[in-house]
Chain A
């Protein structure tokens, strides 16, 4: 469905005033043992990241972007002069955009266990000399946050003005606020949840089973066999994708027109939504790693910060000093408005500063990636206020 741009169009998109333009990923190497929540220890790790904007003299204007399930470090701008598509959150990051790179120094990374350059299942396991594959240790949201603090240290950031994330990214922002209260001024939690519902875990499990049942999967050791479980991974993505859209949104986008105009022919692909989903699944399976998908969905499932506090989310938020902005979208049923409200009202009960907005949208969970006018406006208003506070030195 993507439209091919001419080289001139690509160049003008890359040089647009509100684009961060060409950016290069960098790599942070941590060369000491890193203990994981699972009890395993990594001998060290690397994290790839990008930065946009400039860190001010006081080092007080940094924003951390935490990515969701299939995200990565490339959130804004272009990595290559030939790239026709910008980073995954270019709608919100750039000069004059809500996460304004004229005001903020924005850090975006690929999480541990990822497949875009940070240490993950595709790396060589020093113990075997083979790719880790399924043997890459289990990582959870808290491990990501711990590794992100080391990246922050490396970049000279003691305290982020804000940590922002959608979906699984919002969970990381929450974990930061709980575990490192002194290291962030604000957490912006978008279309997230304090923990997944059984229904939500169920969709992840179906996705994992789709991957595991691909004959190419070989219990995750497909790289050693020089195979790719692309059918299974594609199917996992198709399932996920449907849950990120809404019924109305799909009706509007695809309708149910029959291509051949004749239902008796029983063609393989008849409806537009079928070819769309196949394309999405196929494209995804070309560049994403199946073991990373397993690992990331598990991290989602396990996230439950209140678990260590007798399932008391209010008590879990007790250490928080950051203020929160909680955003949700009306048609998002994978991470519904009610899940966001649980976070909001637990923060209120814990006497924390919190604001919330519920954005009208037909685009389901995917809304958080889209430049919806009210969403963009709320985000911009909130972050402008934060910038004023750090400029006045009035931040708590």
Chain B
């Protein structure tokens, strides 16, 4: 089965035999792939019963744990890579979580939907409505996305926390790189993809 495009990028960034933690691992596609092709020592956290079941079917090390309860169960420097795809926007306290991710992991990969995409801006500016778009499909009253941000917002937070942005990409779920998006990511990028590390 073909891997989602943004997950494919992550696979390319993980070393063979690495220790990987996937926060909000969903159905475990990334970890199953990494276990098979990169022999990683990987774990995924999720709270959804159906997701956990699917992970167990795939032989993925899934641990039932709510991200909003924090990561204090994990020791410092437990992982080479901590991954959180499309989840940052739905956690209760992104800032402490981000710091925790870099306490337990040497590097992090974070992806999130860009609220600064021109379609979002247009809907809010022109029609005065909360944006609903392909990458943000929920109405304001039933969205799990309670902490939306833009490329710029996220980079400001990283700067405040003294985190090092190793790499920034613009992705969507179909094709990996969006050349136009890379030109003006905050306006044209749908999904933000960041690889960050601790301050040097």
Question: Known contacts being A344-B63, A349-B78, is A355 close to B41, with CB within 8 Å?
Answer: no
**Complex contacts, A325 vs chain B, CB 8 Å:** 56
Q: Does the CB pair A381–B57 fall under 8 Å?
A: yes
Given A348-B74, A358-B64, the answer on whether A374 and B56 have CB atoms closer than 8 Å is no
CA distance A73 to B5 in the complex (A): 52
Q: How far is the CB of A199 from chain B (nearest CB, A)?
A: 21
Q: A348-B63, A349-B78, A351-B19 in contact; A381/B41 too (CB < 8 A)?
A: no
Chain A residue numbers with a CB within 8 Å of B52 are 355, 357, 378
Contact call B49/A355, Cβ cutoff below 8 A: no
A377 and B57 alpha carbons, distance in the complex (Å): 11
Contacts of B93 in A (CB 8 A): none
Tell me if A203 counts as interface (CB < 8 A to partner B). no
**Given A355-B55, A378-B52, A349–B60 Cβ distance below 8 Å?**
no
Contact across chains for B60 and A345 when beta carbons are under 8 A apart: no
Known A348-B43, A348-B74, A378-B52; contact A357-B57, beta-carbon cutoff 8 A: no
Q: Are A355 and B75 in contact (CB under 8 A)?
A: no
Is B41's CB under 8 angstroms from A354's CB? no
- Tell me the complex Cα distance, A348–B63, Å: 10
Given contacts A341-B73, A348-B43, A348-B78, contact A378 B56 (CB under 8 A): yes
- Closest residue to B55 on the A side, CB-wise? A355
Inter-subunit contact B60/A374 (CB<8 Å):
no
A79 at the interface (CB under 8 A from B): no
- Tell whether A385 is near chain B: CB-to-CB under 8 Å: yes
Who on chain A is nearest to B19 by CB?
A351
* A331 CB to nearest chain B CB (Å): 16
Bound complex: CA A357 to CA B19 (Å): 21
Tally A-B pairs: CB < 8 A: 51
* Residue B53 interfacial (CB < 8 Å): yes
**Which of B41, B64, B73 touches A357 (beta carbons < 8 Å)?**
B64
Residues of A within 8 A of B19 (CB): 351
Contact of B53 among A341, A349, A356, A377 (CB under 8 A): A377
Give per-residue flags for A344-377: 1 if the beta carbon is below 8 A from chain B beta carbons, else 0: 1100110101111110000000000000001001
How many angstroms between the C-alpha atoms of A374 and B57 in the bound complex?
A: 14
B62 within 8 A of A: yes
- B63 touching A374 by the CB < 8 A rule? no
Task: Report B63-100 CB contacts with A as 1/0, cut-off 8 Å.
Answer: 11100000001110010000000000000000000000
Question: Is A389 interfacial (CB 8 A cutoff)?
Answer: yes
Q: Which size class do A's interface residues fall under?
A: 20 to 34
Question: Which chain B residue shows the least CB distance to A394?
Answer: B59
Min CB distance, A317 to chain B, in Å?
13
The reply to whether B43 and A374 contact each other, CB–CB distance below 8 Å, is no
Q: Is the CB of B74 within 8 A of A355?
A: no
How far does the alpha carbon of A345 sit from the alpha carbon of B64 in the complex, in Å? 11
B61 on interface, CB distance cutoff 8 Å: yes
Residue in A closest to B54 when the chains form the complex, CB atoms: A381
Instruction: From B52, B60, B63, name the one whose CB has the most chain A CB atoms within 10 angstroms.
Output: B63
User: Given that A345-B73, A351-B19 are contacting pairs, would A378 and B60 also be in contact in the complex, using a CB cutoff of 8 Å?
Assistant: no
B56–A381 CB distance below 8 A: yes
A313 CB to nearest B CB, Å: 12
A381 touches B53 (CB 8 A): yes
- A382: which of B41, B56, B63 is its contact (CB, 8 Å)? B56
Q: Which residue of A lies closest to B21 (CB)?
A: A348
| Chain A contacts for B41, CB-based, 8 A | 351
Q: Which residue of B lies closest to A385 (CB)?
A: B59
A358 to B63, CA, bound (A): 9
Whole-angstrom distance between the alpha carbons of A229 and B53 in the complex? 47
Identity of the chain B residue whose Cβ is nearest the Cβ of A388 in the assembled complex: B59
Chain A contacts with B in 304-355, Cβ cutoff 8 A: 323, 325, 341, 344-345, 348-349, 351, 353-355
Cβ A355 vs Cβ B60 within 8 A: yes
- Residue on A with the closest CB to B35? A353
B61 touches A353 (CB 8 A): yes
Q: How far is the CA of A92 from the CA of B62 in the complex (A)?
A: 22
User: How far, in Å, is A383 (CB) from chain B's closest CB?
Assistant: 10
In Å, the complex CA distance between A26 and B43 comes to: 42
In the assembled complex, how far is the CB of residue A395 from the closest CB belonging to chain B, in whole angstroms? 10
- Least distance between B59 CB and chain A CB atoms (Å): 6
Q: B residues within 8 A CB of A351?
A: 19, 41
B33-45 vs A: 1/0 string, CB under 8 Å? Answer: 0000000010100
Which residue of chain A has the shortest Cβ distance to B56 in the bound complex? A381
State whether B56 touches A355 (Cβ < 8 A): yes
Q: Which 10 A-B pairs have the closest CB atoms?
A: A345-B73, A381-B56, A358-B64, A356-B63, A357-B64, A355-B62, A382-B56, A351-B41, A349-B75, A356-B64
Can you report 11 residue pairs joining A to B where beta carbons are below 8 Å apart? Answer: A325-B56, A344-B63, A348-B78, A354-B63, A355-B62, A356-B65, A357-B49, A378-B52, A381-B56, A384-B57, A385-B59
